[in-house]
Amino acid sequence: MKYRTAIAAFLAMTAMSGYGHAADPRYPDWPCVQAKVPEISLAAVWAGPPLDDVSGKWKDNPNVSTLVARLAARRTPLEDAQKAITEYLHGTADKTASGKLLFAGLFESLNAQRTQVMNGLERVTRKQREAADKIRADTLALQALQGETPPDQAKVDELGNQLVWQTRIFEDRRNVIKFVCEVPTAIDQRLFALGRTIQQEIE
């Protein structure tokens, strides 16, 4: 009975998760209900002066690169990050130039962070698809064992316990995916908020 319960739960999960049926055929491994946007658009998060002349230069400034790493870290509360931006820009000789350099670093760093998260999500989705196929195959094998006369109870128990464990791992991963799917949007929102703080300081 416990094996049937685990299998039924697995079948319900795979039906709801839609593995193998991507919402957007361009991104077959994308597991989130949120649409996949591969990169943040600069225009969507920055209305300040053009950044063409500072692109890539932020890494050459130790103060800026250190601050960018701190601001980009999600463990740094947004309020603290905004305060750090204000304090930093108030101490610079050219707030506009410094602000542009700072945002260029944030844009590059958070875009890279976001890409890493999305690649991880797609990697886990591929593992889930493989796991789903394995569980389905083992389910058929278990049903065949149970249908034998007489059934080999030791083999039934071994495969049944394996299925319960596989299903539990599958469910845990599914829950993690749902949580991580929120991260790219959170990064977008963080970058927009930090960009707005910089713009307010340099206007």
Domains of the chain by residue range: 2-18+51-202
Give the pLDDT of residue 25: 85
Question: Per residue in 17-72, pLDDT tens?
Answer: 555 556 678 899 999 998 999 999 999 999 999 998 888 899 999 999 999 999 99
Distance CA 110, CA 187 (A): 7
Give the pLDDT of residue 16: 45
pTM across the whole model: 0.82
Q: How many CB atoms lie within 10 A of CB 59?
A: 14
Query: In sequence order, what are the residues at sequence separation of 6 or more whose Cβ sits closer than 8 angstroms to the Cβ of residue 200?
Result: none
Give the pLDDT of residue 56: 84
Nearest in space to 114 (alpha carbons), one of 197, 32, 171: 32
Residue 15 has pLDDT above 70, yes or no: no
- Percent of the chain scoring above 70 in pLDDT: 89
User: 123-156 burial string, b = 16+ CB within 10 Å, else e?
Assistant: ebbeebbebbeebeebbeebeebbeeeeeeeeee
